[in-house]
Amino acid sequence: MSFDRRIRIAPSILSADFADFGAEIRAVEDQGADWVHIDVMDGHFVPNLTFGPQAVSAFRPHVKTLMDVHLMIAPVDPYIAAFADAGADRLTAHVEAGPHIHRTVQAIRDAGMTAGVALNPATPAEAAMHLLDLVDLVLVMTVNPGFGGQSFIDLTDKIATLRAAIGDRPVHIQVDGGITPETAPRVARAGADALVAGSAVFRGGSVDAPEAYGRNIAALRRAAEGATGTMA
């Protein structure tokens, strides 16, 4: 059976109400999210601070789909066990976070999670090439990581290069940053199948009015599927 490349929408809870994460996670999942994306930042690899393993562990019981944890931290290796204990399903680490990304990916797998590898905007696709048999996802950052609500950087050539290199391997291409119904078709056409979106999912809604989340998720999915012809 070939790998399921239907579009996945992964809301980033960086744009959720920080006083109500449990309800926000349940709301986006009820409204059609495929995965829940958690942006971990250390104030060192990126100029912002967010969640540690203790927060991720508190999110765990609320996530029924897949807890997709994007680590924007350096170093990574000393924290892998803590995020595994916290219940992360996938840990994605940046190739720029240290000299031994291959060892990091192996350590994530050895800890019982699937591994993703992330590339900053200026990092070439080639940086992921020797990891494609070890990861289940390559994350192409379409903003410089650190904050939600930034403008999309067009890296469709990098996405297309990775898509060709991945071939039949069971590896998702995820994009993160500035993804909207306007930019989604461009990345999907180039080969991205997993779309992270913060502002474009949470805008206009709340836990008391979650239907807007549903409309936003559906609009992203429709825009991406329309570009590739891969309807569910």
Residue 72, H or E segment? strand 67-72
Question: What does the chain come to in residues?
Answer: 232
Residues near 191 by beta carbon (within 8 Å), at least 6 away in sequence:
159, 160, 162, 163, 164, 166, 173
Pick the closest to residue 214 from 204, 223, 224 (CA basis).
Answer: 204
Q: Which does 186 bind (CB under 5 to 8 A by kind): Zn ion, ligand DX5, none?
A: none
Q: Which does 10 bind (CB under 5 to 8 A by kind): ligand DX5, Zn ion, none?
A: none
Site for ligand DX5 contains 174 (CB under 6 A):
no
Let me know: does 70 contact 92? Beta carbons within 8 Å: yes
Nearest-approach distance from CB 200 to ligand DX5, in angstroms = 6
Site for ligand DX5 contains 224 (CB under 6 A):
no
Amino acid found at 183: T
Site for ligand DX5 contains 121 (CB under 6 A):
no
Site for Zn ion contains 39 (CB under 5 A):
yes
What is the per-residue binding string for ligand DX5 in 79-118, x denoting contact by CB under 6 A? ----------------------------------------
Annotated binding residues for substrate, written as ranges, equal 12, 70, 146-149, 176-178, 198-199
